[in-house]
Every structure is written in structure tokens, then in C-alpha cells.
Amino acid sequence: MRATFIPFGGGGAGGGPLFLGVSTVAGPYAVGPSDYTILADATAGPMTVTLPPVSTQRKRLLNVKKVDGTANAVTVAASGADTIDGAPTFDLVLQYESVALQAPDVGADWAVI
């Protein structure tokens, strides 16, 4: 397979900045179409960030980061029968812990990258 590179930003040799969506959330959250990074605050209690179905997100990149210092976990959950590296969930338990995920071009398993 040959990689395809897509230039981002404005014209000229220098290109331009790439702006990606960041959402700060505190409570159950379903990843939306414009999200790229989710900053999860579990200060009020354990929370779940639910990923969209892999079949609708081919090659999409997502990041989830726990930003609070409590012992409350942020659980990243796959949708339906989808998985995250073979498991239904991925837990973030330490402040500033994060996970980067990518949806494959085939299959139903979000990849931790």
C-alpha cells in the first residue's frame, strides 16, 4: 500500500496551521464528529467517553486525556461489539494520562497508537 500525503493549510511552500477540535468534558460523553482531542475531567466521579462505531470512522484519529488529579477513572469505551486493542474499554487512572486511538480501514478494533 502506498501512503498518500495531504498538505494542510494555506498556499505557498510554508502551508499553514492545522486546527483540530478540542472538547473539555466532565461527565459521560459521546465523541462527536468535530472532536479530535477530549480533555476529560472526572473530578465529580468516574466517567465514560464513548467512541463512535469504527465502521463510521475509518482512519480517524482521536485523543483522550484525563486532566484531573482524583482517583476517579476515565473509561474510554468502544461502541457495541467494537473493541480497543481487543478489549471493550481502556481506562485512564492517572492525572495527565492519555490515549491516542485510530480507527482502521477495515475491522472493528480501535488501535491504540
Predicted pLDDT at 14: 59
Predicted pLDDT at 10: 53
Query: Which H helix or E strand runs over 98?
Result: strand 98-102
Predicted pLDDT at 8: 52
25-52 burial by CB neighbour count: b if 16+ within 10 A, else e?
beeebebeeebebbbbbbeeeebbbebb
Measured distance CA(45)–CA(75) in Å, rounded: 11
Which portions of the chain are predicted below pLDDT 50?
A: 1, 3-6
C-alpha cell at 70: 482524583
Predicted pLDDT at 16: 73
Domains plus CATH for the chain?
Answer: 21-112 (2.60.120.640)
Q: 19 with 8: CB under 8 angstroms?
A: no
